[in-house]
Amino acid sequence: MAFKVVAADPETGKSYNLEARDLEARKLIGLRIGDKFGGEVVGLPGYELQLTGGTDRDGFPMRADITGSGRTSVLLAGGSGFSPRKRGERRRKRVRGSRISEAIVQVNAKIVKRGEKPIGEILAPKEAEAKAA
């Protein structure tokens, strides 16, 4: 089991693609949108991340206002999962609940607390190994 974790840095505006595998990925299961978790899960020791959303294997987005982890069909007027084209437009759309489950593939998070090392120093050796292979 693995999750792709997209960590956004609000200070610089950059996003980093990270991965949580096996035991680390298990620590994310059951968390809700808005919960905080340690950066050790994705290889960022000393950092703290906040869960902001995600998508499942079929591309359905997570919504904070839907409880549970399953898919459901709801009437939306905007927000995650629907962008209205006309004023007052509403549509019934399929979305996923706010809890992370095994069906989630991508997890979106933002950096809330920074560690001692800058994020570029932590990720630079891993990027060099990936280019060499």
Residue 84: the pLDDT is 96
Please state the domain count of the chain: 1
Residue 121: the pLDDT is 85
Residue 114: the pLDDT is 92
Residue 127: the pLDDT is 63
User: Which contacts qualify for 26-29: CB closer than 8 Å, 24 or more apart?
Assistant: 26/1, 28/3, 28/100, 28/107, 29/100, 29/101, 29/102
Closest C-alpha to 35, from 46, 21, 51, 23? 51
Residue 133: the pLDDT is 63
pTM, 2 dp? 0.87
**Digitized pLDDT (tens) for each residue of the chain, 133 residues in all:** 899 999 999 999 999 999 999 899 999 999 999 999 999 999 999 999 999 999 999 999 999 999 999 999 999 999 999 999 999 999 999 999 999 999 999 999 999 999 888 888 888 776 666 676 6
Closest C-alpha to 81, from 49, 21, 17, 33? 33
E runs forming strands in the chain = 2-8, 15-21, 36-38, 48-56, 71-76, 91-96, 104-113
**Containing structural domain, residue 42:** 2-132
DSSP state of 83: -
Residue 123: the pLDDT is 83
